[in-house]
Amino acid sequence: MSSHDLNSAMLFVHPPLAIAGYACIFVFTALLFLTRRREAKATRLFGLAAWTFTLLGLVTGMVWAQVAWGTYWSWDPKETLTLMLFVAVSASLALFYEKQWKTAKWASLVSCVLSVVTASSSFLIAGLHSFL
Amino acid sequence: MRKTSVAVLFVAFAVVLLLVFSPASSGTSTNPCGQCHLGKYVQHLDVLEGGSAVLSQIGVGETENVTVTIENSVNAVTYSALSGVSVTLASKNGDISVGSPTVNIGSLPAGTEKVTWKITGVSDGYDSLVITAMGVNTHYNLPFSDSYSPSPSIAVGQPTTAPPPSSATNPLSIELTSPARGERWSPGTSHSINWHTNGGTDPLTVTIECSLSTIEGPWTTIAAGIADTGSFAWETPNVTDTLYLRVFAVDSGNPVQDALAVGAVEVGEDTGGLILLGTVSVVLLVVAGLAVIFYRKWRAQTREASGGHAQ
């Protein structure tokens, strides 16, 4: 992708939402691991924020892909990793709501690892997002 | 199971299902676009050699039609039309005059289009016609061009000299290597326009022209008749716009051959990265701030609760 392809208002919508999703995943995981009252409002809020931001990042990415590349989904490595991340975040949030603390903790840890892999995939794996 | 966890899992399941069973799930894009789709998108603007009816003889004062077929060949459905398409017919030696040399087609969807000119024999001799087509895919400002010179030459009137040899054995071609696709140059800075020629008869001369905003011109000459060194240092104008560049190469053969390459560059300050960095920083600060606020609230609540137990 050339720098010209990034000349879009979506540049200020999609990446911030995705990054906010990553950040919230880390805060959610930290709260799950570090706090005793796991049902605290903050943990729930950050879990929900992580899920919402990741979903919005995915959806806005699809909209931008349709505009820029003519297709909303092409199984690009970063797209696929983000989908895996979304599934992992969904699982950890569902487990959290089901009060399966231990499993939720490990699922959120997997989400953290996937966040790092997804974020760094632009630099490591050749694909549509290899423009950085 | 709680309603919230059911809703969360339902949305995740729906998203996965939607993507797995979507029409684009085969792994290839329905409209891959240029380099951003790893070379899967292929588009060419061609002057069809087989589809061009060019005569071999014309009398002095005689007028004939010359019909040329151009093709927008593309392997995508959307964003496939070329804009600002123009086709120019020129005489090499001036023994033939062309009425209205440039035909503006405008938008050219995928497929072919026929263009017809009226040419008139002016003086005795052998002459060649050069057909040049240009257009741009505005979706990515990708310029396309092609040129074709039918061989052998056209005999005009009663030529007194022998016909020139066919140059088809060593055709001249040119490629513009800098600016590369999608490149951005800052206004008022010095950059190198690079090209690469192949074939033709040495020495070659090169002419570089630019057009602001549109590929349809007007074209301003940057350098005329310079040696084929493959590079020319140029200072970008103080504008913020798309700048189209075209490079003509002409050889010293008989008949003369020429070739054309068109490129585009975005002229403007690249502030996108800084704005993105700023936006990302603000988002991270907001998330971190919220985390701190909630942590302090939680700590206060915990202290309050433990204080209550102590009493």
What percent of chain B has a predicted confidence (pLDDT) above 70?
79
Instruction: Supply the pLDDT for residue B38.
Output: 41
Q: Which of A19, A69, A98 sits opposite B29 (nearest CB)?
A: A69
Residue A1's pLDDT band (boundaries 50, 70, 90)?
very low
Answer whether B36 sits within 8 Å of A5, measured CB to CB.
yes
Calculate mean pLDDT across residues A31-51.
Answer: 85
Question: How far lies B72's CA from each of A66, B9, B105, B150, B264, in Å?
Answer: 23, 47, 12, 20, 19
Q: What's chain A's average pLDDT? A: 83
Tell me the per-residue pLDDT of B1-21, one tens digit each, with 9 for 90 and over: 677 888 888 888 888 877 776
Kindly report the number of other CB atoms within 10 A of residue B178's CB atom: 17
Task: Name the nearest CA neighbour of B127 among B70, B53, B60.
Answer: B60
From A101's Cα to the closest Cα of chain B, the distance in A is 14
Does residue B25 carry a pLDDT above 70?
A: no
Question: What 3-state class would DSSP assign to A110?
Answer: helix
From A58's Cα to the closest Cα of chain B, the distance in A is 10
Looking at chain B, which residue has its C-alpha nearest residue A70? B31
Q: Is A131 on the interface with B (CB under 8 A)?
A: yes
Answer whether A35 sits within 8 Å of B284, measured CB to CB.
no
Calculate mean pLDDT across residues B243-265.
Answer: 83
Instruction: Supply the pLDDT for residue A70.
Output: 65
Answer whether B32 sits within 8 Å of A6, measured CB to CB.
no
From B151's Cα to the closest Cα of chain A, the distance in A is 39
Q: Is A56 on the interface with B (CB under 8 A)?
A: no
Tell me the per-residue pLDDT of B117-150, one tens digit each, with 9 for 90 and over: 999 999 998 888 888 888 887 766 677 888 887 7
Does residue B62 carry a pLDDT above 50?
A: yes
Q: Which of B2, B32, B284 sits opposite A23 (nearest CB)?
A: B284
Measured between beta carbons, the chain B residues lying within 8 angstroms of A27 are 287, 291
Task: Name the nearest CA neighbour of B248 among B202, B296, B197.
Answer: B197
First and final C-alpha spacing in chain B: 38
Q: Which of B24, B32, B284 sits opposite A19 (nearest CB)?
A: B284
Q: Is A71 on the interface with B (CB under 8 A)?
A: yes
**Amino acid residing at B67:** T
Question: What 3-state class would DSSP assign to A63?
Answer: helix
Residue A86 and residue A76: Cα distance in Å, rounded? Answer: 15
Residue A6's pLDDT band (boundaries 50, 70, 90)?
low
Answer whether A128 sits within 8 Å of B294, measured CB to CB.
no
Confidence (pTM): 0.52
ipTM: 0.71
Q: Is B139 left (phi over 0), alpha (psi -120 to 50) or beta?
A: alpha
Answer whether B140 sits within 8 Å of A75, measured CB to CB.
no
Asked if A89 and A112 touch (Cβ cutoff 8 Å), the reply is no
Looking at chain B, which residue has its C-alpha nearest residue A22? B284
Q: Is A119 on the interface with B (CB under 8 A)?
A: no
From A15's Cα to the closest Cα of chain B, the distance in A is 8
Looking at chain B, which residue has its C-alpha nearest residue A88? B12
